[in-house]
A and B are shown apart, each in its own frame.
Chain A
């Protein structure tokens, strides 16, 4: 475990809310507005942390545990994700599966908390969230399996360390569909535009946002920070694949990955500005398409 790994975890913890900030700023600029300051997500989280939480009488301990357990799962997942090719703090065989299911656990407790409120809207949101994430999961796991095949390792750190320029020249035909699949997973899991509109406040069309309507104060702060962290984690997976800079120097690799993250946030903002949300019936098709892209990559790697 090098110093760089610890620095990368700190970087993730500190810079994660910057990602939604950049996305919102990009959208505002494209729409011709100035938009909120880049650090607005930090201000929001700090403001919410100072407030006190309000709990409905119909909720139980599940509702209170949801945000805490969700954030804890995402914090553990942060320890597993490599950034810029250098190893993560924790790396052991098959930590890929643990990573996928830590994200799954975070989603599961959010869904439980939403169901615990007894609100019909939140139940609808929970149902949609579970449906779409069940379809996004094969795409993520098959995609990671394809990378695992190429680098013959089942641990995220060596998998991503092996994705240098050499890997791209050797199997670009397989990596290109894989990058597409991971990008779709990134957008879907983070409730981004073609799947879900993060800014909508119409309950009938909301997916992720509707589940957190009843949370307030520090709980909401945990959820907001957790979703920024999830954006960062899945973004790091996409960037680690698309930006194959593996010079060996921690600084150059880290800087390239950081630039990649900023670019990814800008691209997300551009996608959100240029695309309309898909109809709910069309979303499964997009996610199945992503799974198929992952399958293509996996089959090409297995060959």
Chain B
């Protein structure tokens, strides 16, 4: 029964590793888009025995929002900012991959110690949710470009969603849509913010924004 769920969750982990190992921003955006589509499939797989119109609508919304709208928005920002690669991240790609490889066992260990109110749909759900969340956090703190940090935020949110969909069979639709709307607004605002940062400073390196300058 849970073969599909497991496969989707493992794919989610693997896309996370690709995100850690690659340097091209456009590829980062595509990976996060793929994660969005995987989440939509996960929603369907979680409810495969009681497929309702509600679930379908939710899955389609996630797929369009995370799989199409966000990537479109962010790649537009990327085009205007004219940046292609993440050059010299704070943590190098090799070390990032190693840290990711170490995070996975930690996530499994954590989830084994966590008392859960109800059994999740698959024993992989909680560790993968932890892993994806930690991965998002790690991307936020270890990369320079503001765009990659937005993507890290999206990955973090994906992890939380995996936790929700795997653990609670029935979240009211209003809550799900509320969260999606929040994320949408957040990404929208961050996209605009990156656009303005780029117009003002001619780069989107977040670390160079740490000091306030008086230009006059």
Contact = CB atoms under 8 A, between A and B. Distances in A.
Contact of A285 (B3, B6, B93): B93
B184 interface: no
Contact of A173 (B7, B97, B108): B7
A149 interface: no
Contact of A303 (B21, B94, B101, B108): B108
Interface stretch (B9-17, B46-54, B169-177, B192-200): B9-17
A296 B12 CA distance: 12
Nearest to B97: A288
Contacts of B101: 288, 291-292, 295-296
B105 A299 contact: yes
B13 A303 contact: no
Contact of B94 (A176, A284, A296, A299): A284
Q: How large is the interface on A (under 10, 10 to 19, 20 to 34, 35 or more residues)?
A: 10 to 19
A285 B94 contact: yes
A292 B10 contact: no
A300 interface: yes
Q: Give the size category of B's interface with A.
A: 20 to 34
Contacts of A264: none
Contacts, number: 51
A278 interface: no
Contacts of B13: 296
B14 A177 contact: yes
Contacts of B60: none
Interface string A266-303: 00000000000000000011001101110110011011
Contacts of B6: 173
A288 B94 contact: yes
A22 interface: no
B21 A173 contact: no
A293 B105 CA distance: 13
A300 B108 CA distance: 9
Interface in A111-147: none
B105 A285 contact: no
A229 interface: no
20 contacts: A172-B3, A172-B7, A173-B6, A173-B7, A173-B10, A174-B10, A285-B93, A285-B94, A288-B94, A292-B17, A292-B100, A293-B14, A295-B101, A295-B105, A296-B10, A296-B13, A296-B104, A299-B104, A299-B108, A303-B123
Which 6 residue pairs across A and B have the least CB separation, nearest first?
A173-B10, A292-B101, A295-B101, A173-B6, A288-B97, A173-B7
